[in-house]
Amino acid sequence: MAFPSTYTVGITSLGYQIVWATLAMRSDLDVRRLFTDQSDPPHRQCDLFGLSLSWELDGPVLLDLLEQQRIPIWSEQRSDQDPIVFGGGPVLTANPEPLAPFFDVILLGDGEELLPSFIDTLQEVRTESRSVRLRRLAQVPGIYVPSLYAPRYGNDGCLQSIDPIETDLPPTISKQTWRGNSLSHSTVITPESAWPDIHMVEVVRSCPELCRFCLASYLTLPFRTPSLDDGLIPAVEKGLVATRRLGLLGASVTQHPQFAELLSWLGHDRFDDVRLSVSSVRAATVTTELASGLARRGSKSLTIAIESGSERMREVVNKKLSNEEISAAARHAKEGGLRALKLYGMVGLPSEQDEDVESTADLLLQLKKTTPGLRFTLGVSTFVPKAQTPFQWQGVRPEADKRLKRLAKRLKPKGIDLRPESYGWSVIQALLSRSDRRLAPVIAAVRGSQESLGGWKKAYRSSRAGELPGARSGGIDLPLPPPWEQVVHDNWGEDVVLPWDHLNGPLGQKTLLKHQKLSLAEAAPTVQD
């Protein structure tokens, strides 16, 4: 079971921990872990090779890990003696197509739901040929076998469909959703993780806010909350036997209906030595009592996502948040004894204007003025369209680069800690999130230079010029990839066939399109008589 980064990073991934533990608890499996810098002792003979992928830019690392294990990187080149290579995680669930030629099997959805049925089915046909095993797996809900689905292109090179190559295969594959009462918590606690000695507990899964760009909201629907007595408290108690550092995780942890009770329970004297931290919270839920409770347990800061300082833009993205609520959150954080407030925002959102970016700077400067003594950090990224979200049809806006620099010019001299994500790498993320299988040769070619933006662009140019080994699917040569601008920057019409149209997320494309139209209607200027 591999992770495409170092042990320190990988073991901090709660998703990776849960997949590894779920597999390792089975009596019919012997599971070894593999990271880029270390591994458990290898098997003499490996039947399965799994990868958890949570970030688009980690894709090329998969190929390095496969080669280290002497596994052919292209699925069509593997024989009965090679392991079945499978993967999962949000990147592969949203749009697996750019990496599809490297995987034999992709698990779409929650590991709690999929892993048992995946392994049970595989055990039933363990002695059969590779092709028989893959065809049997393809009948299991949520399991996608890319080699059994072939893309079809028009004369103009545009994708027309991705269809099963045999009539008895399901025409579409649906993401599987875990609906049990409990969510996940750490199975490994170690001082060597990026967050040393922390016990992580998943408080909520998904988010009820449904910001139109947000993969964490849309891909993981419905919003799920384990009960306090049967889910959260037992999970917390289990970890506090081994450590006194606790992390509560989720897209919006304070929206758990019993979060106040959880915090009150953690306020008991027996937890006085526990250091508590929480991931992003909704600004409107921040109270002095919440901040005080966190401060008493060692937290120094809160993190809230504001997306933009412009109320118009927040309406566009469906962020139900006012400037007054953001100001109140800052005030309550300080009154409760916290020292810092971290905010997250974006530039380059659909319909954004220069004045919207100025509003973000204005808001941060106003917060600093009205809440003296509280340190402010703004993490800001460029909007990247994600599959399975309403804004999947929107492209990356080139003006975002200048807007990041504009924020830096206004905020850094005033003592705001600005932490911008690279515009250039956001562009590469968009390339990976919106492409189809024709990107696979680029991913293979970029290895060794994947840390360089120029390396990606050079590999893509080479692919467009026909200078790379062509992508293949089901023995069919695929056409050259489309122009860079079309994949990364263009806004796509609703009639465009998406590379992930054959994969069903929680909401159908018609519903996502409706949500996009509702959002962009908010962008229309108001005409006064």
What pLDDT, in 10s, does the model give residues 267-323? 999 999 999 999 989 999 999 999 999 999 999 999 999 999 999 999 999 999 999
Q: Work out whether strand 245-249 and strand 84-88 pair parallel, antiparallel, or are unpaired.
A: unpaired
Phi/psi of residue 458, nearest 5 degrees: -65, -45
What CA–CA distance (Å, rounded) separates 117 from 96? 20
**Residue-level pLDDT at 61:** 93
- In degrees and rounded to multiples of 5, residue 16 shows phi and psi of -65, -45
Residue 528 tokens read as 């006064």
Q: Which residues contact 131 (CB under 8 A, 6 or more apart)?
A: none
> Quick one: tokens of 236?
């917390």
State the angle between helix axes of 14-24 and 111-124 in degrees (0 to 180), rounded to the nearest 10. 30
pLDDT at 448: 82
Residues 83-130 pLDDT 10s: 999 999 999 999 999 999 999 999 999 998 899 999 999 999 999 999
* Side chain identity at residue 44, one-letter code: R
C-alpha count within 13 angstroms, C-beta hemisphere, residue 425: 11
Protein fold of 199-426: TIM Barrel (3.20.20)
Average confidence (pLDDT) per 10 residues, the chain, 529 residues: 95 93 95 96 94 90 94 95 96 96 96 94 96 98 97 93 96 92 88 94 93 95 92 95 95 92 93 92 93 93 96 96 97 97 97 97 98 97 98 98 97 96 96 96 90 92 86 71 96 97 96 96 58
Q: What pLDDT score was predicted for residue 525?
A: 52
Domain residue spans of the chain: 7-171, 199-426, 433-506
Collapsing DSSP states into helix, strand and coil, what is residue 20? Answer: helix
Distances from the Cα of 368 to the Cα of 284, 287, 373, 379, 437, angstroms: 19, 19, 8, 16, 48
DSSP state of 228: I
